[in-house]
Amino acid sequence: MASTEARARLAAAQRRLVEALVSGDPEGTGMDPVAFEIQSALLEHRRRHP
Amino acid sequence: MAVAAAAGAAAGVAAVAEAAALGVGIGWRPELDLTIERSLDVDFVEVIADYLDAKDLPTSLTVLRSRGVPVVPHSIGLSLGSAEQPDRRRLRRLGALAEVLDAPVVSDHLCFTRAGGFEAGHLLPLPLTRDALDVVVENIRIAQDQLPVPLAVENIAALIDWPESVIPEHAFLAEVLERTDALLLLDVENLYANWRNFGRDPLEVLKCLPHERVAYVHVAGGVMDRGLWRDTHAHPVPDEVWDLLAEVGDVPGAMLERDAAYPSNQALRDELDRIRATIGVTHA
């Protein structure tokens, strides 16, 4: 069973990543900036062309 | 829950036997409906479940079903790796589709597509952590309890990688399968992508995964973009992916995914023939 705390920690991490991807700012994610830029652009493209 | 889990395990084993008849298939897309119906010799098709209504199926799928061609619903929206539990309404829709199509199995990805109410519209990788592992295992069990047929989970291609990850991808995936008795939808191009993007050895991954749990295999193409491999489903299958497919060995089924820049019917036939020759699937 996943604990409530595990779900809360995962929720916070996933929310932070998605917010960063939507903003296009990789600062603080620790991720490769080029990969982040491509991923962020793909998300934005999907948002504009659902 | 224990009874449901046992039933799910039994259903999973039965599904492997059922899936033995899948053979060689293709991803059904509206743009390919007549091509598949009239010009391609396929043993099964996979459909994107999220775009279909069980009460209003496309004519082409009805025709294929009337010929006895199995149709596998493939979901892109359960978000099994989300911190939230899977959406019951989406599960009911997927289950209804599986029932009306008499599908042997349904599938979705080991990823998350929504967080905090935001729909990403993309398959995002999970942090390979103990927290994420426990959550996705529980979410898959919830999904299995709601679905009328066995569930296969697919390894995804990723561009970004979480610095928090501490578990190797193959160990993460193997533990998910072991703890849930889910089947595996093995995507060989995604293995290739994660090798190009993160250096994860695809042969090592193949060695560590439970081969007997493979329901079927995805084969697709992609493209290099600024030093990274993008899983586009819009390019020919590269030689390295064909080589990986050959390493997989005997599997119940394998299929071509093509989502854009559709080539000629002959080019599709050539790739399907190569899948059949590579994995040695006989015509179902």
- Give residue-wise pLDDT tens across range B203-216: 999 999 999 999 99
Nearest CA in chain B to A50: B121
CA distance B120 to A33: 19
Tokens standing for residue B89: 């309404």
Q: State how far residue A35 is from chain B, nearest Cα, in angstroms.
A: 5
Nearest CA in chain B to A48: B121
Residue type, B282: T
Query: Which residue carries 């060995």 as its tokens?
Result: B249
Q: State how far residue A49 is from chain B, nearest Cα, in angstroms.
A: 10
* A38 shares contact with chain B (CB less than 8 Å): yes
Closest CA to B125 of A14, A41, A30: A14
Q: Quote ipTM for the complex.
A: 0.94
Whether residue A10 and residue B160 make contact (CB cut-off 8 A), yes or no, is no
Closest CA to B48 of B69, B27, B22, B26: B27
Give Dmax (Cα) for chain B.
50
Taking one residue from A and the other from B, the number of pairs with CB-CB distance under 8 angstroms is 88
CB B60 within 8 A of CB B28: yes
Query: Which residue carries 């899983």 as its tokens?
Result: B231
* A49 shares contact with chain B (CB less than 8 Å): no
Whether residue B84 and residue A11 make contact (CB cut-off 8 A), yes or no, is yes
Tokens standing for residue B45: 């098709």
Residues B112-163: tens digit of each pLDDT: 999 988 888 899 999 999 999 999 999 999 999 999 999 999 999 999 999 9
pLDDT at residue B20 in the model: 54
- Determine the angle formed by the axes of helices B88-101 and B130-146, rounding to 10 degrees: 50
**pTM across the whole model:** 0.93
- Determine the angle formed by the axes of helices A33-48 and A4-23, rounding to 10 degrees: 80
